[in-house]
């Protein structure tokens, strides 16, 4: 995934927004990324990715490319939702 690809489909948050939030606000813990437009507070699918970005940021390597394509990311999220592991809020991008 690249910087302009969506990480949080529930609230339409891109990786670029997450990266900028980390850079500007320098959160003390990963849970504070929820202050970036609600990221991670919808279905929960993006939480592992938010954790990874936070860890990368702490190590100074936030722009590292993800090993998953945007299409595969969206498809995997769909499977996650259909398996009942998370419920997107009303108005969120469908699974």
Distance of CA 80 to CAs 30, 33, 62, 87, 92, Å?
22, 21, 25, 9, 15
> Which tokens is 84 given?
């009942």
pLDDT of residue 66: 85
- Enter the pTM of the model: 0.92
User: Residue 7 in contact with residue 77, Cβ under 8 Å?
Assistant: no
- pLDDT 10s digits, 6-61: 999 999 999 999 999 999 999 999 999 999 999 999 999 999 999 999 999 999 88
Beta partners for 14? 6
């Amino acid at each position: 995934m690249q910087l302009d690809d969506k990480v949080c489909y529930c609230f339409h948050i891109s990786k670029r927004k997450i990266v900028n939030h980390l850079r500007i606000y320098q959160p003390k813990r990963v849970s504070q990324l929820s202050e970036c437009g609600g990221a991670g507070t919808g279905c929960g699918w993006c939480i592992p990715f938010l954790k990874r970005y936070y860890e990368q940021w702490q190590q100074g390597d936030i722009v590292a490319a993800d090993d998953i394509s945007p299409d595969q990311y969206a498809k995997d999220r769909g499977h996650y939702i259909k398996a009942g592991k998370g419920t997107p809020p009303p108005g969120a991008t469908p699974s």
